[in-house]
Structure 1
Amino acid sequence: MSRSEHPTRPAVHGFWEGTGATKTFTHPLDPALLERYVPRDARILDYGCGYGRLTARLAELGYRDVHGVDPSHALIERGRREHPGLPLRQFDALPLPFEDGTFDAALLFVVLGVVTDDADQGALLAELARLVRPSGVLHLSDVPLQSDAHHVRRYDEAAAAEPGRPYGVFTTPDGGLFRHHRPEELRELLWAHGFAVEEEHQKETATLHRGERTRSVQLVARRQSGPGQGR
């Protein structure tokens, strides 16, 4: 059976067709970090591109073959208005219509933080492992569990309200559903799907919510191949 006979639709919260589609995304791209791993002529997938903020930034930096994909109709429509001519496409199901090993690199910026279900995260990482060629790169940026009292209270209240959810999943007052991970969870998830982390950094980052800041984590992982490597 072909993959296309059984499409997977990771849960996309309705927030991203309404309020979320008006937000200003904030996780910064470090051009020097990217350049160490991804040459300018690489073919890059920006998965969860939103309104194309990073897709456009990559084009400005001279990356000539970048493809932005997002499940949200509203975000892609916004991106087409703000960045006319950028290759932004909306797909709400996996697999994506690209051949195995199509891309030299993929970006996954604050996507696992909004795809909160374990099974949905696994399906997405499996698809990226299919699409990124062996020895290619996955560059991930997301939010780890925070240790300040505000976030800990938020995590604990959400866990008490819905005990079946992973710890770190919470809802914001404006209706957003998010998940913060332990950094080791991110590394383990990448390794389980064939990506070995080569570089990791943490920094302070503004959030979608005005006035709030969090620690973010950025990982660069290499797609492995051969027995005993990840998958």
Structure 2
Amino acid sequence: MTDPERLRRYWETTGAGHTFTHPLDAGLLARYVSPDARVLDYGCGYGRLTARLAALGWSRVRGVDVSAALVARGRAEHPGLALEHVAEPPLPYPDGAFDAALLFAVLTCVPGERDQDRTLAELARLLRPGGVLYLSDVPLQDDEEHRARYRAARPWAEVYGTFRIPDGGVFRHQDPARLRERLGALGFEVAEEHRDPVPTLDGRTVTRLQLVARRGPDRP
């Protein structure tokens, strides 16, 4: 099993110094989300994408992250951005407070099944009915190098697809079918899906999965 306290320390120390590389497709977002929408960048890190959205004209963007060190770095690098440290869900916002949310390479940093479920459920709560979730993450990779990394983690990992990088960071690649199932159970309907190659923070290239999903109406 992965030690939650060890994970927390990683993102307050070594992990807080990483340069993130997971790219945003602004055109894809613009097809679903207007510039005046209330947008939450969940797991914003040091505000890289929050800042890009603001520069592109999205005027009501807020970023949140569980790492106090990353949020402090973001405030120093991007003065004036709305960046907030929230140690864990629930966030201090009412139900349906946002029109859209970004979840970019966040689940890969949350290897535990329960913690992933809490993250997705919190986004379902925070998005209004009809709101848009733009999720981009790394699915299970098929090459032998990645399969070897997954196998090496089997003695201690909760879920297949988990692995450790040399600096101590623990990450998890997603089972796409399981991810779609979890979104569906929370009332999301996938509207668009894409795959493309992207760089990783440890200098590799992987295929990513982008999902744009709409939150359904509240159930009676």
- Pair 1:185-2:182 in alignment: no
Cα offsets for 1:85-110 (capped at 9, x unmatched): 10000000221110110100000001
Name 1:124's counterpart in structure 2: 119
Name 2:161's counterpart in structure 1: 168
Give distance in 2, aligned partners of 1:126 and 1:41.
25
**Count of residue pairs brought into register by the alignment:** 216
**Among 152, 163, 181, which residue is 2:147 paired with?**
152
Amino acid at match of 1:215: T
Name 2:206's counterpart in structure 1: 214
Q: RMSD of the alignment, in Å?
A: 1.5
- Pair 1:223-2:211 in alignment: no
Name 1:7's counterpart in structure 2: none
- Pair 1:84-2:84 in alignment: no
Cα offsets for 1:46-67 (capped at 9, x unmatched): 0000000000000011000000
TM-score norm. by structure 1 comes to 0.90
Tell me if the contact between 1:196 and 1:222 (Cα under 8 Å) persists in the aligned partners.
Answer: yes
The SS at the match of 1:138 is: strand
Name 2:196's counterpart in structure 1: 203
**Among 34, 41, 56, which residue is 2:29 paired with?**
34
Name 2:137's counterpart in structure 1: 142
Give distance in 2, aligned partners of 1:140 and 1:93.
19
Name 1:100's counterpart in structure 2: 95
Deviation larger for 96-105 or 180-189:
180-189
Name 2:107's counterpart in structure 1: 112
The SS at the match of 1:13 is: helix
TM-score norm. by structure 2 comes to 0.94
Tell me if the contact between 1:52 and 1:68 (Cα under 8 Å) persists in the aligned partners.
Answer: yes
Q: Which runs of 5+ in 1 are unaligned?
A: 1-9
Query: By how many angstroms is 1:13 displaced?
Result: 3.2
Tell me if the contact between 1:203 and 1:217 (Cα under 8 Å) persists in the aligned partners.
Answer: yes
Tell me if the contact between 1:13 and 1:177 (Cα under 8 Å) persists in the aligned partners.
Answer: no
Give distance in 1, aligned partners of 2:125 and 2:82.
21
Query: By how many angstroms is 1:117 displaced?
Result: 1.0
